[in-house]
Chain A
Amino acid sequence: GQGVEQPAKLMSVEGTFARVNCTYSTSGFNGLSWYQQREGQAPVFLSYVVLDGLKDSGHFSTFLSRSNGYSYLLLTELQIKDSASYLCAVRARNSAGNKLTFGIGTRVLVRP
């Protein structure tokens, strides 16, 4: 089976950074995605990683360690508007229909 774990909440300060952690267990791993979801809105795709290491996408970066079943989303130079929930989702190998298993989402609150 699959399990995806994330902390429920995270607080940080404007201008600094926030790291959203995600741990997963799966019978076969075939990629991990990150989504942003603002209050009352739909999730929006941010990033996809399938190989170990750090992937830099400008305002944010994503890291993956397959051997540890661990990923993080790093948000840098935080702005108030970065306050949102960030969802981690795992795709299993041979997952029919490209199904994703989501974590509960981490609510990030950026304070002035």
Chain B
Amino acid sequence: EAAVTQSPRNKVAVTGGKVTLSCNQTNNHNNMYWYRQDTGHGLRLIHYSYGAGSTEKGDIPDGYKASRPSQENFSLILELATPSQTSVYFCASGAGLGGNYAEQFFGPGTRLTVL
């Protein structure tokens, strides 16, 4: 059974609209991450979290917010979507200190198109 799930899997949004991408993990991992993947750029970190209630800025946080209401759930929020945010978004979980921090477990991805 999949340990990291994402919803929706596909989303079409309009410019200026609000988009929320959701992620759930059953690995009981402390750390969770949001990436976007674009041709020529690879995976780039947007936001991450150490645990419930925490969110931290990654390498490209502008235009995105994140929310971690519980150990299992981590959301990515685009308050005012723009066409430049069209991408594939991956959520991942990983163990914190004391765990095997080398490995991150990825969800199946969400393909977002902003028109």
Contact = CB atoms under 8 A, between A and B. Distances in A.
Interface residues of A, number: 22
Interface string A85-109: 0010101000011111111110000
Interface in B59-115: 59, 90, 94-96, 101-109
B43 interface: yes
A33 B90 contact: no
Contacts, number: 56
Interface in A31-69: 31, 33, 41-45, 48
B42 A103 contact: yes
Contacts of B95: 98
A44 B106 contact: yes
A103 B48 CA distance: 19
A100 B48 CA distance: 11
A96 B50 CA distance: 9
B94 A105 contact: no
B40 A99 contact: no
Contact of A99 (B41, B58, B105): B58
Interface of B: 31, 33, 35, 40-45, 48-50, 56, 58-59, 90, 94-96, 101-109
